[in-house]
Amino acid sequence: MKFLKLLFVFSLFFAVTPSHSQVHVDQITHNSKERYITTTIGYPIPGTYAPLNQKQPITVLNPDGTGFIQAEDLSKQKINWGIECTQEGVPVFKEGFNSASYTFWYRPNDSEEWYYSQFSIHFVKKKMFLMGERVKEYVDYNVQ
């Protein structure tokens, strides 16, 4: 009987532990300054971004922090990406009227240099803008 209770406690412990996992944070260096990035900010960032009313050029962001950016000539460049955050994984953003603006960091796979651009979420329009011109619509599952 004690064995069953012990087994139950261990299985409960292992079942609950993953549900309280922390946000994954990566450390990057830009201009000799340490920064932190994450792919998790509470909104569905991963997906395909394209200029308004166009099918290409696109940017694809995968949940694991990889993806690619397609140039105007439709050539693709593989990237690693993230949204700037604190060391603890809290996203750094500027709040606007019905919007939030973040710093989007990306590094081409064939380079060691990190670049940054703007990433913004427009809550009323349910759209996310990447680099000012590429957009993705999203569904807000947090609305009550």
Q: Give per-10-residue mean pLDDT for the chain (144 aa).
A: 42 41 88 96 96 95 97 96 97 95 97 96 96 92 60
According to DSSP, residue 12 is labeled: H
pLDDT at 14: 41
pLDDT at 66: 98
CA dihedral sign of residues 144, 21, 107, 72: negative
pLDDT at 15: 40
pLDDT at 17: 40
pLDDT at 23: 85
Domain residue spans in the chain? 26-137
